[in-house]
């Protein structure tokens, strides 16, 4: 699933051959037109009120994650860490059977948290986000990045993993 301004890089298919088929839904590297990462493999440490579309920082996660949410591409996600992750609706790869079983909520349109709701719903059904680091896409136009689109430092990544394992 992708917007019409997203293009697959030449090595995209070969990257999936190398990565394999062991995923239900995943993301690859997403590169903005300026060469920077764009909300690809990321945390979403916020609580969401879908009725009011209000995003509030998570109550128990370190405030560092309000400004640093990009995971290293080699991060191994699991069901405990998956709770705090999401995939942007800009682009993702999902198996047909998952997409048919869990359809997007058409009441939530672009910019209204449809991607966050979808990520949370898939999580609640035991479907975890994976990252294929061997494939990438780029944009045909510039997309504004959020303040939190910075790579998580190793010490904080370990803090996040410990937090998830204890909760």
Q: For residue 46, give its domain range.
A: 6-166
DSSP 153: P
DSSP states along 100-130: HHS---TTS-TTTTHHHHHHHHHHHTTPPEE
pLDDT of residue 60: 58
The whole-number average pLDDT for the span 149-161 is 95
Using a 10 angstrom Cβ sphere, with 0-12 exposed, 13-18 middle and 19 or more buried, the burial of residue 155 is exposed
Residue 90 has pLDDT above 50, yes or no: yes
101-146 tens-digit pLDDT = 999 888 887 777 889 899 999 999 999 999 999 999 999 999 999 8
pLDDT of residue 52: 45
Distances (CA, A) of 101 to 3, 15, 155: 21, 26, 38
Residue 110 placed within a domain: yes
Rounded-to-integer distance, Cα 9 and Cα 27, Å: 14
**Torsion of Cα atoms, 81 then 82 then 88 then 93, to 10°:** 130
Cβ proximity of 160 and 65 under 8 Å: yes
pLDDT of residue 57: 47
4-27 tens-digit pLDDT = 999 999 999 999 999 999 999 999
Residue 40 placed within a domain: yes
Residue 139 placed within a domain: yes
Residue 1 placed within a domain: no
Cβ proximity of 19 and 134 under 8 Å: yes
36-68 tens-digit pLDDT = 999 999 998 765 554 444 444 455 578 898 899
Rounded-to-integer distance, Cα 117 and Cα 108, Å: 9
Rounded-to-integer distance, Cα 44 and Cα 87, Å: 9
Tokens (6 digits) for 78: 């699991």
Cβ proximity of 129 and 119 under 8 Å: yes
User: Among candidates 48, 77, 42, 63, which has minimal Cα distance to 150?
Assistant: 42
pLDDT of residue 59: 54
Number of domains in the chain: 1
Residue 77 placed within a domain: yes
Residue pointed to by tokens 């979808």: 118
């Amino acid at each position: 699933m992708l917007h019409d301004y997203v293009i697959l890089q030449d090595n995209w298919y070969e990257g999936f051959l190398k990565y394999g088929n062991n995923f239900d839904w995943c993301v690859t590297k997403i590169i903005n037109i300026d060469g920077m990462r764009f909300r690809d493999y990321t945390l979403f440490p916020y609580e969401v009120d879908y009725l009011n579309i209000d995003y509030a920082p998570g109550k128990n996660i370190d405030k560092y994650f309000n400004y640093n949410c990009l995971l290293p591409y080699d991060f191994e996600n699991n069901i405990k860490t998956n709770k705090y992750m999401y995939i942007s609706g800009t682009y993702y790869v999902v198996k047909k059977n998952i997409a048919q079983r869990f359809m997007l909520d058409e009441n939530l349109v672009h910019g209204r948290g449809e991607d966050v709701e979808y990520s949370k719903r898939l999580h609640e059904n035991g479907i975890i986000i994976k990252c294929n680091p061997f494939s990438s896409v780029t944009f045909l136009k510039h997309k504004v990045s959020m303040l939190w689109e910075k790579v998580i430092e190793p010490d904080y990544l370990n803090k996040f993993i410990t937090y998830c394992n204890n909760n």
